[in-house]
A and B are shown apart, each in its own frame.
Chain A
């Protein structure tokens, strides 16, 4: 890789708000928070995918040096947690449902003592027949992962429903799909599958819990959704939310994976039981084998086209492997499934999503949940269709993309749809990037894929307060996951308040301090937080104006503000600044402070006027070695439909980081789950891209779009990762003529596909 540009250093420009702390190693993450007198916890996990727990003997472990106690399932049997469905036990109760499930927890004076003690716990298991893949799990005589899944709070299934079916959702739009397929001149039926993949954040989950003598429970956790974590803890323990205070230190990478309670409920139970603060940090092997990876999926697409190269109908059936518990997901379906209907004109569309319990590590959220799977299937199908029709894949997409003013296949009417325009700038920016000379066995190709997602505002709150030095501190309810959201907030506030950024602080405050926040997610943080900051700044300005008017003894509308954030009485020429206003307020027993609460806007299905749809079109250029099946990626061009960009650097960072993540999912990442067991159990086997692996990335922007919120922005965080696997699969077919329908696109799969094609060709 070669960087093409340096970002210009703007005069007086403030860098990241957290840059110095992070580069100096002084930023505290959850595992770094100093907690005096803490005990360390370690977890014993099930080696069986499905087994009855007959007996647990903890006596030997309890006698080991430093060990303060052991907790097992029956100690916490009544507790269940979950983001929507509360089906996750703190420790396995009666039986273990996946390899890696928590069976017992040891607390000891040191982490090493706790680790050692887990090996001294004796568990008698009786292995049970297990179901690993959704199709076998759905069979009427398959082993039941849960005896009564419908009995959990929030359950989405009913007694008498299909075996192990956790949730089903069907979206339909337009005409009768079967009739439209039957009437199509060209029909396709394609099957795709994707691997379970981990978020790959470098910081393993960590938490500390401490119960104050009055019963108040403090939690320090690597959680991107502290307020939702608090609500889930309250529900799990049957306590009021106010009893919990969730502190969120800096988060060492999230990508969706830090949104579930994970081990926090267990940590709280241990703290309550043993009367001391408890610290629990996962080892990375536990992350890979027992956290909440992206769901693998099996997808069938049936598509019908007319001879005119226009889509007539699409029927899509997506089966997601839930794993043993559904509680790591906040919604009945994965958002990405529905997005099969966000890009194209499809007169008749049906999408069926099945989520099926199995005896495997539970799935959770990863950057655009459900979307890379869905888009891999849809965008591969688009290329296959174009080939069948003998139309260029770009032309085929151009013919079928939605236009502004169209109703989308599922009925949404977004204010602006710029798919064709985004495709056009991608085409214009494209230029061949194939190196020369190439080895004779290398064939080059290019592939295109696209993705569209919506942004809408979420719920949040914010408080601004001026201190005696005239600094303004913004207390916010969102932790910094690394995206630069706190820096963006400072930029917006500096602009709106007319203050030097150096006089602004942005800090996360615990859940005790502000009313609510939805947490980081949905590519909505910049939109939502900057809207709240905008509202708060306006109100802060009114409050400052009123104080200044009182100070001057004039009416509020007589006061004006200078660009530098001072307040002037034009009649007398008097000036006050924030230092003086804050002191003036304090003298009267008041504060120069405002708080804003921004509630959730209820966007109905028909009301999409407040949503912004963003497109991303990607063109990958690859070389495939016909002798080995190895793919080299020369360049990924990624074109983005954007509105206003508040911070070009952090915006670009989302794009570049997303492409690299998509590259990993496309080529190398696979948890390798065999018979329910994760085989890629360390970062040597689970290959996330290194600096050696990432290709050149070119970015094209379609600017001037209509975004959401006061800052007029569109989604970026979950855009550039999604279509990369499909673009690469399309490029591989363009290069060597084989179609890989199963992610990742490993050299082995391509090699064997080439062998098979060779055999077919050699038959006379």
Chain B
């Protein structure tokens, strides 16, 4: 194959979410399109198309990659996991034993509401899961560095940070916990029920 060879059809075999997949593909097909259109795995989202936003993140041999930049032909014989597959096998033990399982990630994102519209969420949780596999107890710096590859426009990221820390079993930063700011009871304000949401 020379650099300028036109796209042609080729057979591929790979594993997707633990299952063997065989297909004939065009050599210029993107993994993202293969997953969404050929396999119907629409949990993986298309957004920026240039590998910046992270909405199309999947795991290839355990590493998070942007499937919008990866040719399907390049994942021959590889092991691909999408959000649907991770959610399905969420009950199982993670590979390292100590790292949080996907169900812990899911539980933390539900509890801490690390999502809103949900379009970035599959990429975010896949990426967060990969982070915690690699670094089970990351620092905030490590979380922010890793997750900078997943853009979210709804949350402002604080709830995502809270979710990942909770998934890792990390405590909240204690210094500000006792600092909910609200008008004290009695005067104009005082709805203490809001106090628990104050940061």
Residues of A within 8 A of B (CB): 1-9, 15-16, 18-29, 31-32, 34, 110-112, 199-204, 250-255, 281, 283-285, 418, 421, 425, 428-429, 480-484, 639, 642, 644-645, 648-653, 656-661, 682-684, 688-692, 694, 697-705
Contacts and interface: CB of A to CB of B under 8 A. Distances in A.
Given A3-B165, A201-B119, A255 B50 contact: no
A693 to B, nearest CB: 8
Contacts of A661: 153, 156
Given A657-B155, A701-B183, A683 B173 contact: no
Given A3-B161, A202-B151, A657-B116, A700 B198 contact: yes
A292 to B, nearest CB: 16
B140 to A, nearest CB: 5
A658 B156 contact: yes
B199 A4 contact: yes
Interface string B132-160: 00000000100111011111111111111
B173 A4 contact: yes
Contacts of A34: 40
Contacts of B149: 690
**Top 9 A-B pairs ranked by shortest CB distance?**
A25-B43, A482-B117, A252-B119, A22-B118, A660-B156, A25-B83, A648-B197, A4-B176, A32-B42
Nearest to A33: B42
B161 A1 contact: yes
B83 A484 contact: no
13 contacts: A8-B196, A32-B36, A255-B153, A649-B113, A650-B113, A660-B155, A694-B156, A694-B158, A700-B182, A701-B195, A701-B198, A702-B182, A705-B188
Contact of B117 (A251, A284, A683, A691): A251
B53 to A, nearest CB: 5
Contacts of A698: 181, 199
B116 A483 contact: yes
A640 to B, nearest CB: 10
B50 A683 contact: yes
A645 B160 CA distance: 22
Contact of B144 (A5, A203, A483, A692): A692
Contacts of A660: 155-157
Contact of A645 (B28, B55, B188, B193): B193
B110 A23 contact: yes
A203 B154 CA distance: 12
A688 B197 contact: no
A7 to B, nearest CB: 6
Contacts of A26: 43, 84, 87
Contacts of B52: 682-684
B112 interface: yes
Interface in B96-121: 106, 109-113, 115-121
Given A25-B83, A651-B197, A656-B156, A202 B115 contact: no
Contact of B125 (A21, A23, A703): A23
Contact of B50 (A425, A484, A682): A682
Contacts of A480: 117
B84 A25 contact: yes
A227 to B, nearest CB: 20
Nearest to B84: A25
A648 B194 contact: yes
A703 B196 CA distance: 13
B72 interface: no
A482 B110 contact: no
Q: Is the interface of A mostly helix, strand, loop or mixed?
A: loop
Contacts of B161: 1-3, 691
Interface residues of B, number: 83
Contacts of A202: 45, 47, 53, 55, 117, 119-120, 151-153
A698 to B, nearest CB: 6
Contacts of A645: 191, 193-194, 197
Given A484-B116, A682-B48, A698-B199, A703 B154 contact: no
Contacts of B29: 112
B33 to A, nearest CB: 8
B158 A656 contact: yes
A7 B196 contact: yes
Contact of B156 (A112, A199, A642, A697): A697
Given A2-B173, A202-B47, A203-B117, A25 B87 contact: yes
A645 B195 CA distance: 11
B24 to A, nearest CB: 14
B179 interface: yes
Given A7-B113, A15-B111, A252 B144 contact: no
A31 B155 CA distance: 22
A28 B112 contact: no
A6 B198 contact: no
A657 B153 contact: yes
A23 B106 contact: yes
A112 B25 CA distance: 13
Contacts of A421: 183, 188
Q: Which of A651, A653, A659 has the most CB of B within 10 A?
A: A653
A47 B194 CA distance: 52
B153 A7 contact: no
Given A16-B113, A25-B122, 7 more contacts: A9-B111, A22-B121, A29-B45, A645-B193, A658-B156, A691-B150, A701-B194
Contacts of B119: 29, 201-203, 252-253, 482
Given A23-B121, A650-B113, A204 B47 contact: yes
A19 B197 contact: no
Contacts of B157: 1, 656, 660, 689-691, 694
B162 A704 contact: no
